[in-house]
Amino acid sequence: MLDARRRPPTPRRAGHVAPAAARRPTRGAAGAAGVASAGFGRKVALTLEMIKFQHTIFGLPFALLGAILAAEGLPTAAQLFWIILACVFARSAAMAFNRLHDEPFDRLNPRTQGWPLPAGLLSRRFVFVFCLASIAGFVFSAAMLNGLALALSPVALAILLGYSVTKRLTWGSHFFLGLALGIAPVGAWVAVRAELGGPPLLLGLGVLFWTAGFDILYSLADDEVDRRLGLKSLPVRLGRARALAASAFCHALAVGLFLAMIPLTRLGAYYLAAVAACGWLLVYEQRLILPGDLSRLGRAFFVVNGWVSVLIFAGGLADVLLDR
């Protein structure tokens, strides 16, 4: 359920000036023709690419870990199916809504104006219908799990969709994005046990600060544009150097919260080793980025963070299954 609002900046030569056509995005006849000529399958493919569907890997492992901890083993096949489906639909709805909300800003950002929606390759109507279908799919998946999951689904949607407006309101938008991902293990716990519990809340807090830490790094790519457009972020408020320090603090806090899970659950040596490995990866991520050099931001964001969630899930799965 990760946000991939921004792509890492492409390094430019000193003195490089974007071509005039690139700096003045238009959505004229060519864009309209592109929308009209694209078939349904092509539009779906463009939408999935636009929302970075593959980045579901960031949040899904934490949801699965929450489900496994709740079941103290493997949940039923039906529970796993509907949990996975709920996660996919939830992230798809959130990202589609984010693209709709941010389109006016994306058209003014030289790095994002080529994305399918601002470039006119997709219509707002199609993306809106996709968003509604994803919301319906999420609510239906929750209903197939249990009554509490269904009752809490509007709360989850409010958090997931509400994130998109926070960059206009507060520099703490990174933490709201963290909350959007952090509710995944809590929701999965509810899906299995039909009740709230302490361990998934702690795991969710860890996910919150891990996500906030890497989103602060990622927002460095757009700090100048955000400042010009009046959007809020920690790099805009604090500057790059202090924002990097805030990101490192968030990641240290996340590792501490992940470790705090051990005495409350059946997690043990494998999970501990996984968290230690993730701690090393997060230190490596922090060292890749300097205030004046964002050239390795792509490696820091896409490679390192994909491994963090997978490693923690694998360590937790091994401990729970081998302890049975």
pLDDT in tens, 158-205: 999 998 888 888 888 999 999 999 999 999 999 999 988 888 999 999
Residue 140 has pLDDT above 90, yes or no: yes
List the Cα angle 292/293/296 in 5-degree steps: 160
Q: Which of 278, 316, 101 is nearest to 188 (CA)?
A: 316
Q: What is the predicted pLDDT for the residue at 10? A: 44
Which tokens is 304 given? 């390192």
Cα separation of 191 and 143, whole Å? 10
Q: What pLDDT, in 10s, does the model give residues 106-127?
A: 888 877 788 888 888 889 999 9
Residue identified by tokens 């005039």 is 20
Structure pTM?
A: 0.82
Cα separation of 68 and 191, whole Å? 11
**Domains parsed from the chain with CATH numbers:** 49-322 (1.10.357.140)
Which tokens is 136 given? 């319906």
- Secondary structure (DSSP) of 51-107: TTGGGGGGTHHHHHHHHHHHHTSPPPHHHHHHHHHHHHHHHHHHHHHHHHHHHHHHT
Q: What pLDDT, in 10s, does the model give residues 251-274?
A: 999 999 999 999 988 899 999 999
Q: Which of 124, 150, 168, 149 is nearest to 66 (CA)?
A: 149
